[in-house]
Amino acid sequence: MTRTRCLLALAALATAAPAGAADAVSAWRSGQPEQPAAVVVRGATIWTSGPAGVLESADLVVRQGKIVAVGQALRAPACAVVVDGSGLHLTPGLVDAHSHTAVDGAVNEGTHISTAEVRIADVLDPDDVGIYRQLAGGLTAANVLHGSANAIGGQNAVIKLRWGAPAADLLFAAAPPGIKFALGENPKQSNWNQEERRYPQTRMGVEEVLRARFQAARDSAREWADHRAGKKRSAVPPRHDLELEALVEILEGRRLVHAHSYRADEILMLLRVAEEFGFRIATVQHGLESYKVADEIARHGAGASIFSDWWAYKYEVIDAIPWAAAIDYRRGVLTSFNSDSEELARRLNTEAAKAVRYGGVPEVDALKLVTINPARQLRIDDRVGSLEAGKDADFVLWSGHPLSTGTVCLQTWIDGRKYFDREADLAAREALAAERAALLAKVRADAAAEKAKGKDDTKPDEPAAAPPEVTR
């Protein structure tokens, strides 16, 4: 790029960047942020979550939304946007393996025990303010899931938190499809309105549902195979069934299963059913008793995406312990922490810190519980989860040690675009407060004017009517 074009590009970025309160509000409301041709973060402590480990006083170089180099004293590309990382810490963008952000609160299709035909991608809400709030906590990607009312729930949507983009652009196109399963009290309706009962009512019934639906999927796949091979006399094709087609994708290894599960006996049941039908579970979600069967989970090849320390909110979590992540990690289970909460998703970095406190997981590996490990569970680790050359430029700049409760997120970048800037956010707050005050003042003034006008338009008071005579 010539020097003239370089200067013009930098001038355009400077114009787009929030220089003051009014500009900050404008930037906060606009669509996709600009993507500089090149970005360099200088002199930060970089937690790569990759083979390079933690690098002191290091640089990160980005071109066209991709990381091209990580290391010390790197050469900056021409006209790169330079971010001073001195005294700051840089990490990969955080990844949440279990989220309900960007969907309406009613994420359960509770009428049937198997609803594999419904799709989260069809109901994403790009205006959910939770997206912005989670960007402010360093989150850049999330696995958005159906609720846990069904043994077999709906199809998931892995998203990048591209605040300001239309719903379709939230989708992480490179992520393989998945689906939500659920075991335990929720699908057997322990906590439901007793007047709205449906099958099953027991944990045994949940297992039977899984077997029955996968057998139906096998039969459907065989019927279609026979039709395509011309083995059937009728030229009429079998009926398309969106539920069974999704289950066939599971059987063929083309759709990942993320299973809400708490108790150890149910986790073992699910692994056995999967092995019987020839597929593997991708993640045991929440898995509060996963530590009891960590060896079996590791042997199966599943991951465990668990709560750090949630417990005692219903009976089936009575054996939850905060050391579960450390036990799973040491037994060879691919382990991550998830949020299941728009609030908790804003501070997944300090969730990771709990693995240091409860079980002594090394700090570098603890951060991986919310970066590269959930990325591996979602099969997107070739694109995100660590800071390595060739990966997407999804990274977070922190004010201090990323596992410290005193640290705040300063900037969050996705695909080499800055989606959150704390300085701009603080400036925007002042401008938004001023705008709100001005609007309230106008509303009050308009109301006062209407009231005064109403008084002027009223007719003169008529004399009061005489009271009726009282007959004695």
User: What pLDDT shows up at residue 253?
Assistant: 97
Q: Which of 394, 410, 426 is the last residue of a domain?
A: 426
Q: Is the domain of 190 the same as that of 308?
A: yes
Shared domain for 281 and 143, answered yes or no, is yes
Residue in 424, 427, 395, 405 with CA at minimum distance from that of residue 138: 395
Angle (deg, nearest 10), helices 203-228 and 242-251: 90
* Residues 149 and 99 grouped into a single domain: yes
Q: Which domain range does residue 394 map to?
A: 1-93+385-426
Segment 365-412, tens digit of pLDDT: 999 999 999 999 999 999 999 999 999 999 999 999 999 999 999 999
pLDDT-based confidence at residue 459 (cuts at 50, 70, 90): low
- 444 domain-assigned: no
Confidence of residue 2 (pLDDT cuts 50, 70, 90): very low
In this structure, the answer to whether residues 232 and 256 fall within a common structural domain is yes
33 shares its domain with 132? no
Task: Kindly state whether residue 450 falls inside one of the protein's structural domains.
Answer: no
Kindly state whether residues 360 and 219 are assigned to the same domain: yes
| 440 belongs to a structural domain | no
- Residue 465's pLDDT is 57
Query: What string of H, E and C letters represents the secondary structure of 229-262?
Result: CCCCCCCCCCCCCHHHHHHHHHHCCCCEEEEEEC
**For range 206-227, the mean pLDDT:** 96
Q: What is the pTM of this model?
A: 0.88
Question: Is it the case that residue 414 has pLDDT exceeding 50?
Answer: yes
- How many whole angstroms separate alpha carbon 356 and alpha carbon 325? 10
User: Is there a contact between 171 and 121 (Cβ–Cβ < 8 Å)?
Assistant: yes
Confidence of residue 470 (pLDDT cuts 50, 70, 90): very low
d(CA 72, CA 55): 8
Mean of all residue pLDDT scores within the chain: 90
Same domain, 284 and 417: no
Per-residue model confidence (pLDDT) at position 235: 79
Interatomic CA distance for residues 374 and 304, integer angstroms: 9
Q: 3-class SS at 425?
A: helix
Please indicate, yes or no, if residue 466 is contained in any of the structural domains: no
In a domain, 453, yes or no: no
Indicate whether 218 and 72 sit together in one domain: no
β partners of residue 59: 71
Rounded Cα–Cα distance for residues 38 and 80 (Å): 5
What pLDDT, on a 0 to 100 scale, did the predictor assign at position 469?
53
More confident residue, 361 or 468: 361
Q: How far is CA 386 from the centre of its chain?
A: 17
Model pLDDT for residues 59-94, shown as the tens digit of each residue? 999 999 999 999 999 998 888 999 999 999 999 999
Q: Are residues 207 and 351 in the same domain?
A: yes
Count of structural domains, the chain: 2
| 345 and 409, same domain (yes or no) | no
Amino acid letter at 319?
Answer: D
For residues 138 and 217, state if they share a domain.
yes
Q: In this structure, is residue 234 part of a structural domain?
A: yes
Pairing status of strand 178-182 against strand 152-155: antiparallel
CATH of the domain at 393: 2.30.40.10
At 3-56, the pLDDT tens digits run 444 543 444 444 334 444 445 445 455 678 999 999 999 999 999 999 999 999
Residue 456 — very low, low, confident or very high, per pLDDT cuts 50/70/90? low
Regarding whether 316 and 326 lie in a shared domain, the answer is yes
- Report residue 150's pLDDT band, with 50, 70 and 90 as the boundaries: very high
The predicted pLDDT at position 389 comes to 98
* Residue 447 belongs to a domain: no
Asked whether residue 368 is assigned to any structural domain, the reply reads: yes
CA dihedral 272, 276, 280, 286 (to 10 degrees): -30
pLDDT tens figures, 259-297 = 999 999 999 999 999 999 999 999 999 999 999 999 999
Cα 7 to Cα 262: distance, rounded to the nearest angstrom = 57
Residue 457, pLDDT score: 61
Q: Look up the CATH number of the domain holding residue 365.
A: 3.20.20.140
